[in-house]
Structure 1
Amino acid sequence: MMLFRKLQWSKGKAISPVLLIYAVFWSSGLHQDASTARRRNVVSLQGKMVKMECMHMSDATEGLILTLRRNGTPTELCSLRFRNFRIWDRVCKGSVTLEYDHHTKWVYAVIQRVSVNDSGIYNCTLESMIPPPVKTLTYTYICLTVSAPPVVELSLVSPFFNNCENTLTCCAWDFYPQDIQFSWYKDGELITSTSKNDSLFPNSNGSYSYISNLIISRSDWSRSVQFSCQVNHSALESPVVKHISLPRAEKDSSKLPIWILAAVLAGLLMILVMIILAMTLIFRSKTTSQSSADRVMPETAVMQLPQECQRENCHTTYALLNYYPGSTL
């Protein structure tokens, strides 16, 4: 009550002490207001190196500690301790580190190969340890958004056989953020309300994947020259367009391609030639064996006497020939 009366004693004399107390209170770092925090937004592509401005240090760095945290958690990702006007201690965990530039007096939070999982809000807090107790001087909020462009693939699930319809599948893999746009085209014209069973699902690394299916009939495929899938995403400089088409000669699956028919005919011809050659060899082998058998006379062959030879001297002559086979008359 007495303090209130003293302050009301004279307006002109009361304002100066209040301003003086406020100035001392502010400069001592005891006043912690959200207005003192600096805020920065950083956007990067996945796989790049990120260098974020964390804190600008003055020449008087003795007894200061700089701490980096993420998403408001008390866990320290990295910390720097200054003593004797230099970095006395550095403790960092994970992929992020703090680097001090002596020329610019800036402390940077650096991530060598940033990934989607690194997205979040980082808090750099500067505190004074000397003299105790520890006092918070200032802090910086860094909002990091890591974008990942999609990898787009377009394929036909299975070729036509006896089905009346088939499915084209367009896939976008590993993109971030999750907002993405798919469009289907047939011969350059936009197709609407023909896709079904589209699905968006998260990946283990924090990114997303999307699968879009287009149902096409056999007649649409045979009449159309080209189907296209267009994917647009914030991480892309321009939309990605994938095409799929078949030459008109191959669109009727009921007709076999010419090269298949030629291969079948060539195989049959080779089989026929091999059969003919095998039969020829067998026939020649049998003929050779038969002629060889006819030319060989057994040593025990017995010569028959002619019917008109009935005299005794004739028997004697043929007996001598039979005894001496090599002799001639």
Structure 2
Amino acid sequence: MKILVEWVKEEVKEPSLCTYYIFSNETLSISQCGPRFKVNTEPLGLNITGVESNDAGVYKCVMTKLIPPPAAENSSTLMLKVSSFTLQLMNSTNSSCVELLCSLKGLKPQQVNFTWTRATQLLYHHESSSMRSTLTLCKPHWTDGETLTCQASYSNNHTLYRKSITLPCDSGSFVHLIVLGTLVGLLIGTALFIEVYYQCLTARRRQSTADGIVTSELVSSSQV
């Protein structure tokens, strides 16, 4: 017996993801598969490495009996759902607060546990549902440019999802620094100007005094 096996993804106009033959002694011929696909012999199936979100969809396994004739075809389909883990900074009505949303899709809700950390410090989050968790921090409990991490633990297959985000710098603080720096620069410039003016004024007074002394001496000499 000789059976041709083809794995294809529906709604994708591409060649077969993987093609191979099964013989009567249950051995497999050399498979022709894409770079991320590999034949699984026991149980018989298809392995995908580096699964991405666009891998989600309907896959079909088509088995065609070639020998003995006549040829006969049988197929089965399966749905692949790919989990999606995201961490994003939400818009906050309070400029002194930050709100982060961590969400996980494609898994059973009752088997997901969220934790938030700052370096090694565990943070308490007020809101957490089955597939999402929200962290809200207000000043002084967060600083510009620091990194926070969301971690989701999926107990079914002991998978750990982890993502980090760096908080933005407060534009208001940046403006304050610019204004402060400008004021300091003006003060220093004014002080230097006053110092130079004072030195020039002192030099002129000394010069005037010296000229007066010389004139007096000349007048005295003339009288003699």
TM-score using structure 1 length? 0.37
- Matched positions, count: 165
* 1:69 has 2:8 as partner: yes
Q: Which has the higher strand share?
A: 2
Paired position in structure 2 for 1:245: 138
User: CA offset at residue 282 of structure 1?
Assistant: 0.7
User: CA offset at residue 242 of structure 1?
Assistant: 1.6
Q: Distance in 2 between matches of 1:169 and 1:266?
A: 31
| Deviation per residue, 1:164-200 (Å, 9 max, x gap) | xxxx9967588645xx9xxxxxxxxxxxxxxxxxxxx
| Deviation per residue, 1:28-80 (Å, 9 max, x gap) | xxxxxxxxxxxxxxxxxxxxxxxxxxxxxxxxxx5222111233879632211
Paired position in structure 1 for 2:31: 90
> Which of 93, 114, 119 in structure 1 is aligned with 2:56?
119
User: CA offset at residue 154 of structure 1?
Assistant: 3.1
Paired position in structure 2 for 1:320: none
Paired position in structure 1 for 2:67: 130
* 1:149 has 2:85 as partner: yes
Counterpart AA for 2:208? Q
Residues 278, 87 of structure 1: alpha-carbon distance in 2 compared, 3 angstrom cutoff: same
Residues 87, 173 of structure 1: alpha-carbon distance in 2 compared, 3 angstrom cutoff: same
Paired position in structure 1 for 2:207: 289
| Deviation per residue, 1:203-244 (Å, 9 max, x gap) | xxxxxxxxxxxxxxxxxxxxxxxxx8846454xxxx412214
What is the 5 A alignment of 1:189-208?
A: none
User: CA offset at residue 109 of structure 1?
Assistant: 1.0
Q: Secondary structure at the match of 2:70?
A: coil
What is the 5 A alignment of 1:1-329?
A: 63-71=2-10, 76-82=16-22, 86-93=27-34, 96-101=36-41, 105-136=42-73, 139-156=75-92, 159=95, 176=105, 230=127, 232=129, 234=131, 239-246=132-139, 270-271=188-189, 273-291=191-209, 293=211
Residues 265, 149 of structure 1: alpha-carbon distance in 2 compared, 3 angstrom cutoff: closer
Structure number with bigger Rg: 1
Residues 126, 240 of structure 1: alpha-carbon distance in 2 compared, 3 angstrom cutoff: same
Residues 295, 133 of structure 1: alpha-carbon distance in 2 compared, 3 angstrom cutoff: farther
Counterpart AA for 1:282? C
Mapped contact 2:40–2:46 kept (Cα < 8 A): no
User: CA offset at residue 245 of structure 1?
Assistant: 2.6
Q: Using the aligned pairs only, state the percent identity.
A: 15
Mapped contact 2:90–2:101 kept (Cα < 8 A): no
Q: Distance in 1 between matches of 2:200 and 2:66?
A: 107
Residues 277, 148 of structure 1: alpha-carbon distance in 2 compared, 3 angstrom cutoff: same
| Deviation per residue, 1:296-320 (Å, 9 max, x gap) | 79xxx9x7576xxxxxxxxxxxxxx
Q: Secondary structure at the match of 1:150?
A: strand
Residues 261, 174 of structure 1: alpha-carbon distance in 2 compared, 3 angstrom cutoff: closer
Counterpart AA for 1:76? S
Mapped contact 2:2–2:23 kept (Cα < 8 A): yes
- RMSD (CA atoms): 4.7
Stretches of structure 2 that go unaligned for 5 or more consecutive residues are 110-124, 141-176
